[in-house]
Structure 1
Amino acid sequence: MNTALSVDTPRTLKEYAPSTLELLTAIRREGFLGWLMSTWRKHGDLIRIRMGSKSLLLVTHPDHVRHVNVTGRERYDKGESYDSLRELLLGHGIVTATGEDWRRQRRLMAPFFTPRGVEKFFPIFLSDTQKLIEHWRAQHQGSGRPVEMLDEMMQVTAAVILHSVFSTDSGETLLRVKNSIETLVSHISNSQMSPLQVPMWVPTPGNLRFNRAKKLVTAYIQELIARRRAIPTEQWPDDLLTKMMTTRDEESGTFMAEQLLVDNGLTMFAAGHETTARTLSFLWYALSQNPEVERRLHAELDSVLGEAPPTINDLKKLPYTLQVVKEVLRLYPAAPMYARDAVADDELDGVRIPAGTRTIVFSYATHRHPAFWDEPERFEPDRWLPEREAAQHAHAYHPFAIGPRICLGNNFSLLETHVMTAMLARRFKLRLKPGHVPRIDMFGTLGSANGMPMLIEAR
């Protein structure tokens, strides 16, 4: 299905300006994500939403997604919308950098994250997933006690990132760093969603927790860098930190500056474990609600893997497993939307977009657009059969964003999720706690307001 808009047809930009009371009532009733979905369904694919003195342009149609991210990309960047993320958490690392600073970092780091480049982390994916299997068998399998699935997935993906980036052990260190990162991300997400902005210098309990967590994580990364510089380079482990420290930019001839090493180390940990953990937690939820999909997945895994862990070549024989992953990313993208700020005047589908416009690309809605997806709310992995995927609009699916600023870690995350799905689904069935209905909403990233408690059963 492929419905295109004519960019030659003039359009009048629709505006929606809810009162504060209307906005708060709607969000309380539907959640922030539900309110945005209702707004899109009522007002259409291109709409300006005014909230007090602030306004944003909501972009949903795949043709508009293409313009903002690809064909008109020079007029959009990560501007003011990312200021709080820069100032409070990620500095000027790869996610938040702009202009030539971003291009230089991308040139340096992109080779580490190609499909072939991320295969070097395959043994880490296997090892950390096997540890989780052993933990579940010993502590949770058949216990009748539900576990919070997001916490379980956060624990294993944090271990993967810690080993892949820093070559450090997990244990107590992992727990402290993971909890601190989650404190930082949660604080920023809550601040961005709150109509009342409290300055960071105000000593509220939340601000104090944030500052302690930021200090701990920053000191941890700085110590790792200093410890590595104190030994001969030939003794440095072959991980992502070493690659960032030793790779010289071909155009400028320079190495990554010390502060950028810290910023990117923090970026990889913060962004690299949380989003994959959320994808995996929604994957187990989707399987628990779709028994026929689960049956087909189990049949493929049993046929290909038997009792052995997967190899890289085995993954090529697990196409349905990857289809399941892609369908989870369609219906439950960890980042339901992302911002791009207009840095120059533009025209989008006949509508004038002034410089400075905060543009929100609403991937969660694009992935459910009825003009591009048959039965869009249905969980259907066969959408990702090669011939059906090839027939889709190229920009109707963008769980990692799209264009030059597509998420650098998308290949890493896809491989990690493919491996973990294969290994865990081969051994376990996960069941949502009876009577529990997740309240899915956006909290910076996609989540369930009342958690995802699940029972772990042996297969």
Structure 2
Amino acid sequence: MNPALSVDTPRTLREYAPSTLEMLKGVRREGFLGWLMSIWRQHGDLTRVRMGSQSLLLVVHPDHVRHINVTGRESYDKGESYDVLRELLLGNGIVTATGDDWRRQRKLMAPFFTPRGVEKFFPIFLSDTQQLIERWRSQHQGSGHPVEMLDEMMQVTAAVILHSVFSTDSGDTLLRIKNSIETMISHISGMRTGPVQVPQWVPTPGNLRFRRARKLVTAYIRELIARRRAIPTEQWPDDLLTKLMTTKDEETGTLMAEQLLVDNGLTMFAAGHETTARTLSFLWYALSQNPEVERRLHAELDAVLGEAPPTINDLKKLPYTLQVVKEVLRLYPAAPMYARDAVADDELDGIRIPAGTRTIVFSYATHRHPEFWDEPERFEPDRWLPEREAARHAHAYHPFAIGPRICLGNNFSLLETHVMAAMLARRFKLRLKPGHVPRIEMSGTLGVRNGLPMLIEAR
């Protein structure tokens, strides 16, 4: 790989401008994710990709990742690239807010999501995972019939979010909200990656399904807020919604407006369950393909946990389990890329970046960069031994983004994944359906086009 580093003029920036036919053929042949990987391998770490009227700057090298997210961050924000998410899904919540609006929200919400702050949700992680264990034992264990693993993980992580954010029971509510959120995410992902953009006002079946789903979810959140306000505050449950409703902005002394409560409630549900579910799904796939890793994981869990569920202190004694989680996040990041829009003129390694440039930070490729990862396609949790992690470029790994706009829920997700991996791997072996070859792709988030059918076996 010969990255385009230390060049003097914009003319030296590598550029790839495929015809529409060439692009369609490449995406059809390799999938959108595979096509971008081919562009990176052929053209290097900093490449302008022209697709029709659009131009994207593909960013891979960790030095460039650091500049956009940390050292030069004032020149980049979540601009036009996030307009569809703002308009159709997340409003102006913490993920899509910009400027001072984002800074106020981040300052208000950050204390709830520190490593210590998310420990209060540990009992919920235990309880919901235990319910899944009992269901697998009674319905699926040893049945010889595969389950779709992403669906299974979506169900349990959705339950966790409903309990953590809204203190609501699962059951029918869980399925209705979960399915509606997934309908919305799937619809928007299709809009962003599909070859034809149909306006939202056109009453297509997909647009109508999206409208119904969004109406159901927003009405549900508004109803929860109204119910809470109808009772004395001392009776409000100790969950994230209550924290958002009662915490005042330090600068203005005001409470969060209702529309922002709805936006952030929807944001936490949409972002909080889908990405973690995908990480867990890929974890079971990776273990099924790497028996020595699975053996070492089982040995650690058996030695530390025995028959008991984990405690917070137990997790500190399960370092290999966390190494497995980190390696899954390296090879299979739920968000394989993310956008940052230049909001001011900038210079990146001698190359002029005009305001308005859409940059795509390609974490999926960074995590496979041969300058920073030996045998990058190999699943190797020992990469995460403390001494090896400390010696690596600090920005060669960014599954939750990095810098001030790192995902607010990263500590929540890591703790949840650590707990679920430990509890489920202690009880079960999961095996990919014989003969099934997963086709990994990106449609907004990382997924498997033909699913992950897996057999559940008792240990």
CA distance in 2, matches of 1:25, 1:6: 30
Q: Which runs of 5+ in 2 are unaligned?
A: none
1:12-51 aligned within 5 A: 12-51=12-51
- Aligned residue for 2:311? 311
Q: Which residue of 1 aligns with 2:222?
A: 222
CA contact (8 A) 2:345 2:355 kept: yes
**SS at structure 2 position matched to 1:399:** coil
Aligned residue for 2:85?
A: 85
Counterpart Cα distance in 2 of 1:210 and 1:7? 46
**Distance in 2, Cα, partners of 1:185 & 1:6:** 37
- Could you tell me which residue of structure 2 aligns to residue 378 of structure 1? 378
Give the Cα separation in 2 of the matches to 1:9 and 1:356: 21
CA pair 17-74 structure 1, distance change in 2 beyond 3 A: same
Q: For residues 397-418 of structure 1, give each alpha carbon's deviation from its aligned partner in whole angstroms, at most 9, with x where no partner exists.
A: 0000000000000000000000
Deviations 1:163-192 (A, max 9, x none): 000000000000000000000000000100
Counterpart Cα distance in 1 of 2:359 and 2:352 = 13
* Aligned-partner Cα distance in 2 for 1:9–1:314: 53
Task: Out of 162-171 and 191-200, give the one that drifted further.
Answer: 191-200
Q: Which residue of 1 aligns with 2:444?
A: 444
1:302 corresponds to: 302
2:335 maps to a residue whose letter is: A
Q: How far is the alpha carbon of 1:287 from its aligned partner?
A: 0.2
Alpha-carbon contact 1:345-1:352 (below 8 Å) kept: yes
TM-score normalized with structure 2 length: 0.98
Q: Does 1:59 align with 2:59?
A: yes
In structure 2, what residue type is equivalent to 1:203? Answer: P
Q: Match of 1:339, SS?
A: strand
State the Cα distance separating 1:5 from its structure 2 match: 8.7
Q: What CA deviation, in whole Å up to 9, does each residue of 1:349-391 have, x standing for no partner?
A: 1111110000000000000000000000000000000000000
Give the corresponding residue for 2:327: 327
Match of 1:359 in 2: 359
Map of 1:455 onto structure 2: 455
Counterpart mapping for 1:192-271 below 5 A: 192-271=192-271
For the residue of structure 1 that corresponds to 2:48, the secondary structure is strand
State the one-letter code of the partner of 2:370: P
Task: Give the Å deviation of 1:4.
Answer: 10
> What is the distance in 2 between the residues matched to 1:434 and 1:213?
36
Cα deviation for residue 254 of structure 1 reads: 1.4
* Per-residue CA distance 1:331-358 (angstroms, 9 max, x = gap): 0000000000000001101111110000
Q: 3-state DSSP class of the match of 2:341?
A: strand
Letter in 2 for 1:282: F
Looking at structure 2, the residues matched to 395 and 320 of structure 1 have their Cα atoms a distance apart, in angstroms, of: 22
Per-residue deviation, residues 9-37 of structure 1 (Å, max 9, x unmatched): 66711110111111111111100100000
Q: Distance in 2 between matches of 1:4 and 1:37?
A: 14
2:410: which partner in 1? 410
- Answer whether contact 2:3 2:44 (CA < 8 A) is retained: no
- Tell me what 1:275 maps to: 275
- Tell me how far apart the structure 1 counterparts of residues 283 and 128 of structure 2 sit (CA, whole Å): 18
Shift of 1:194: 1.1
Equivalent residue letter for 1:204? T
| Shift of residue 113, structure 1, vs aligned partner | 0.0
Q: CA deviation at 1:259?
A: 0.3
In 1, Cα distance between equivalents of 2:403 and 2:304: 35
The amino acid across from 2:199 in the alignment is: P
CA contact (8 A) 2:441 2:448 kept: yes
Q: Give, in whole Å, the separation in 1 of the partners of 2:246 and 2:24.
A: 50
* Counterpart AA for 1:169: D
SS in 2 for 1:307: coil
Deviation at 1:158, TM superposition (A): 0.1
Residue matched to 1:137: 137
* Residues 289-298 or 5-14, more deviating: 5-14
Moved more, 355-364 or 252-261: 252-261
AA partner of residue 129 (structure 1): T
**Deviation string for 1:275-328 (max 9, x for gaps)?**
000000000000000000000000000000000000000000000000000000
Secondary structure in structure 1 of the residue aligned to 2:216: helix
In 1, are the aligned partners of 2:7 and 2:351 still within 8 Å (CA)? no
Question: Shift of residue 255 of structure 1?
Answer: 1.1
User: 1:6 deviation in Å?
Assistant: 6.3
* Aligned partners of 1:4 and 1:63 also within 8 Å: no
- Separation of aligned partners in 2, 1:254 and 1:56: 39
Name the residue aligned to 2:368: 368
d(CA) in 1 for partners of 2:5, 2:146: 51
Partner AA of 2:88 in structure 1: L
- The answer as to 2:119 corresponding to 1:119 is yes
- Cα shift at 1:252: 2.0
Report the TM-score, using the length of structure 1 for normalisation: 0.98
What is the alpha-carbon distance in structure 2 between the residues aligned to residue 366 and residue 319 of structure 1?
A: 24
CA contact (8 A) 1:128 1:156 kept: yes
Quick check: 2:9–2:352 contact (8 Å CA) kept in 1? no
Alignment-mate amino acid for residue 334 of structure 1: A
Deviation string for 1:245-269 (max 9, x for gaps)?
Answer: 0001112211111100000000000
1:409 and 1:44 map into 2 onto residues whose CA distance is 32
Q: Which secondary structure state, in structure 2, belongs to the residue aligned with residue 228 of structure 1?
A: helix
**Equivalent residue letter for 1:145:** H
d(CA) in 2 for partners of 1:376, 1:398: 15
Matched, 1:396 2:412: no
- Helix, strand or coil for the counterpart of 1:255? coil
State the number of aligned residues. Answer: 457
Q: Does 1:338 align with 2:338?
A: yes
CA contact (8 A) 2:14 2:46 kept: yes
Q: Matched residues in 2 for 1:5 and 1:303: separation?
A: 49
Aligned position for 2:184: 184
